[in-house]
Structure 1
Amino acid sequence: MTRDDIDVRPITDDELADWSRALNTGFLRSTPDSRETLDKRRELARGSRILGAFDGGRCVATFRSFPQELTVPGGAAVPADAISNVTVSATHRRRGLLSRMMADDLADAKARGDVVATLIAAEYPIYGRFGFGPATSLSEWAVDVPRAGLDPRRPVPDDGGRIDLVDGEDVRKTGPELHERLRASRPGVIDRDGFWWRRNTGLLETPEEPWKEPFYAVYRAPNGEAEGLIVYSVDDKWSDTKQPHNTATVRDLIAVTPAAERALWHYVCSVDWIATVRTGHRAPDDLLPHLLPDPRAARVVTHADWLWVRILDVVRALEARTYAATGSLVLEVGDAAGLSGGRYRLDAEPGGAVCAPTSEEPELTLDVSELGTLWLGDESAVRLAALGRVREERAGAAAIADALLRTSRRPWCPDIF
């Protein structure tokens, strides 16, 4: 059996069960999907583009993509091709199946006019060869509540605002507007549609995890306007001496003002019986540690790459965002897949930019994957040059790139997909 004998194509609805079995195999989930679970997966996959690789009629590799919007520095959103559910069965590795599925999907995304493709990489070494680069990272803290130094007698905001406990129905009304405000202010944030809010408030269960209702709380400013939302779950652990050792795990926290962020973190750290707060996935420059009287009470437990970006249209990608300074740079962008390589001149200023193909001599040479890493403003071109991942053709070009591209707050993607 050669790789050409394996059929890579969009699946039919009748093939969803076989595709789902291959997906579970790839993610090491041995339990087969029930009819109810398949119905849930069919609902979750609505609007997606689903590819499978078939060997003798059996699905041996899976791939799904769907439309997404990604915020860039300055607040604009660009259309993205979000990639998920990528697996290749252990019996069919090293046959080029992922390469074929990725090539088909990226070519279609380019033809549709998507500016970038995005994914969350389970394994680091895989996706650089397809032109993806890590564009955001995340951190998670564990807060030792007794050590934090907060006054347990003052759990409510001291700014005239208030915290209200709410339910899922309230969240479906309040959450989307709050998230849109966050998305307009933070590069790296992706859109959440009505389907996302139904799924994450229990109206639609995911196939992999039974729904367990969390706690929801909203921060309202003194004028009554909602400015923040926290979603958290709590375990039930007590010591042999009847001391509570419970952990609150934050599943989502949206804050559109510093006051809301402070109030929500102080609130969850003040709930009786909570000894530890796990923050969930936060931006690496999150305010949290320094919102505590003792920042050392917040211990980093996770720090890793998160959202990976693949530039499909260099001109539109660079023109969509704003810049920290005024300047110009000629980039030589390599792209082995032939989707977006070339030489481009970027003329940038705080209000925006003009980018166009050029025949001028390049000043900075880099692969499209490194451009994806730099594009949202998190990484340093000077650092990448020191690592040998970009090359200065003119001395000081990497420093110019940093002056233009870096952002004052680090980009952050709060969601997994």
Structure 2
Amino acid sequence: MAVEIREVGVAELGEFRRAEAVGFHHEPSATEADIEHLAALLTRPGELLGAFDGGRCVATYHSFPHEVTAPGGAFVPSNAVSRVTVTPTHRRRGLLTRMITEDLRVARERGEILASLIAAEYPIYGRFGFGPAAWLADYRVDLPRAGATSRWSVPEEGTLAHVDPERVMAEGPALHDRMRALRHGVVTRPLPWWRRLAGLYRPSDERWTTPVHLLYTADDGTVEGLATYRSNGKWEGSRPAATLTVQDLIATTPAAERALWRHLCSIDWAVAVETGGRAPDDTLPHWLGDPRAAVVRTYYDSLWLRPLDVPRLLESRAYPAEADLVLDVHDPQGLTPGRFLLQATPDGASCTPTTRTADLTLDVGALATLWIGDDSAHRLSATARLTPHTPDALTRADLLFPTPRRPWCPDIF
């Protein structure tokens, strides 16, 4: 019997989640709470696709609408791809190719500018036009070594308070919306995501420790920061040796971010803080008396992007300089290929099809990397991800696409 790819019905959500768990090596079970959480994430028909061999789901795929913040603060509509698995017994049969190819085509017709995903494995998604766009650094801070500095010990500003899950739900989404306007690479968070962070939904396949939530409020009453962490409560040789694991820390001001980290790095009985996924240029190490106390445990590509509409994508971001650039864009799926003239200024940009001689040739994955600002044209050329055709093409590109900070996508979606 041929494997059938189709939309997953409500009665099949448990089977879908079981197949997803098998693909990700999790406990292959689904509680009523797990199914309710999955159902709450769905916002439009056709979001969940499954490959069915008889009545058994053997591949999973989820796509849904969200937004990615562009350099300059614009919110760009994107087709987010998630929950991609293929059961080991059905690998190498083209199931992912069938699902993702059709999904990207439909997303392009629907008007999304980008597709986005968090890549579990690096080699998979380049052939579908995705490129690595934002990287994460996961630090472990050795607290006895971290020390304090005069900068760290500046007078306290605002107020820190422990809050309950209901307060997280009340304050968190609006705070995050303000934060994502300030940092490119950040993506939207649906309300079910917040329920999980707050501890109101507990996945059945995860070991559970109740989270602690910290809210930072400025002197004028504005909520400017929120952190969630867990402690392992460890003791060694009758001495406390707890490690704090940060699940999330967002802030809209440097004062809020500094105050949250200062508190986390000074909690009694804790000997280490694991920060979770931070931007590679995060400022935390520089607040420590010894920045080397913050050791990078892992450094990895997280957010991958795939242009679906090149002109609208290039017009969506801000540019720090004025220049023209002709880009010859190759697309393995044929969704948005062509030669385009980008005319950019600090006041705005236009991008139109052109027959002019190309300054740069690149595929859509490399264009995504260049667009988000995490790699320079010179580096992309040195690694053979783009080809210059005019003497100053790389210099002009690097005038247009740099960003003051590296992009950051703290979320797994």
Instruction: Look up the equivalent residue of 1:165 and give its one-letter code.
Output: H
1:135 aligns with 2:151: no
Residue of structure 2 in register with 1:270 after alignment: 266
Pairs within 5 Å for 1:361-380: 361-380=357-376
3-state SS, counterpart of residue 266 of structure 1: helix
Instruction: Look up the equivalent residue of 1:26 and give its one-letter code.
Output: G
1:230 aligns with 2:227: yes
1:254 aligns with 2:247: no
Query: Is this contact kept in 2: 1:40–1:207, CA < 8 A?
Result: no
1:320 aligns with 2:309: no
Q: Which moved more, 1:205-214 or 1:49-58?
A: 205-214
Tell me the distance in 2 between the aligned counterparts of 1:187 and 1:135: 11
Query: Is this contact kept in 2: 1:347–1:355, CA < 8 A?
Result: yes
Q: Determine which of 96, 99, 114 is the counterpart of 1:98.
A: 96
Instruction: Look up the equivalent residue of 1:255 and give its one-letter code.
Output: A
Change (3 A) 1:104 1:255: same
Query: Is this contact kept in 1: 2:33–2:201, CA < 8 A?
Result: no
Residue of structure 2 in register with 1:189 after alignment: 186
1:351 aligns with 2:317: no
3-state SS, counterpart of residue 322 of structure 1: coil
Q: Over aligned residues, Cα RMSD in angstroms? A: 2.0
What is the total number of aligned residue pairs between the two structures?
Answer: 412
Q: Which moved more, 1:108-117 or 1:53-62?
A: 53-62
Change (3 A) 1:156 1:381: closer
Tell me the distance in 1 between the aligned counterparts of 2:335 and 2:204: 35
Query: Is this contact kept in 2: 1:41–1:207, CA < 8 A?
Result: no
Query: Is this contact kept in 2: 1:202–1:211, CA < 8 A?
Result: no
Residue of structure 1 in register with 2:3 after alignment: 6
1:107 aligns with 2:131: no
Q: Determine which of 385, 392, 396 is the counterpart of 1:400.
A: 396
Query: Is this contact kept in 2: 1:156–1:267, CA < 8 A?
Result: no
* TM-aligned CA deviation for residue 32 of structure 1: 2.8
1:148 aligns with 2:161: no
1:289 aligns with 2:285: yes
Tell me the distance in 2 between the aligned counterparts of 1:373 and 1:168: 37
* TM-aligned CA deviation for residue 210 of structure 1: 5.9
Residue of structure 1 in register with 2:117 after alignment: 119
Deviations 1:289-308, CA, capped at 9 Å, x for gaps = 00112211111111110100
3-state SS, counterpart of residue 136 of structure 1: strand
Tell me the distance in 2 between the aligned counterparts of 1:403 and 1:309: 22
Tell me the distance in 2 between the aligned counterparts of 1:132 and 1:147: 41
Instruction: Look up the equivalent residue of 2:219 and give its one-letter code.
Output: P
Query: Is this contact kept in 2: 1:157–1:263, CA < 8 A?
Result: no
Structure 1 regions of 5+ residues with no counterpart? none
Q: Percent identity?
A: 52
1:42 aligns with 2:19: no
Tell me the distance in 1 between the aligned counterparts of 2:271 and 2:31: 39
Query: Is this contact kept in 1: 2:20–2:60, CA < 8 A?
Result: yes
Q: Determine which of 138, 144, 169 is the counterpart of 1:172.
A: 169
Tell me the distance in 2 between the aligned counterparts of 1:94 and 1:414: 31
Q: Which moved more, 1:365-374 or 1:222-231?
A: 222-231
Deviations 1:269-289, CA, capped at 9 Å, x for gaps = 111001101111101111100
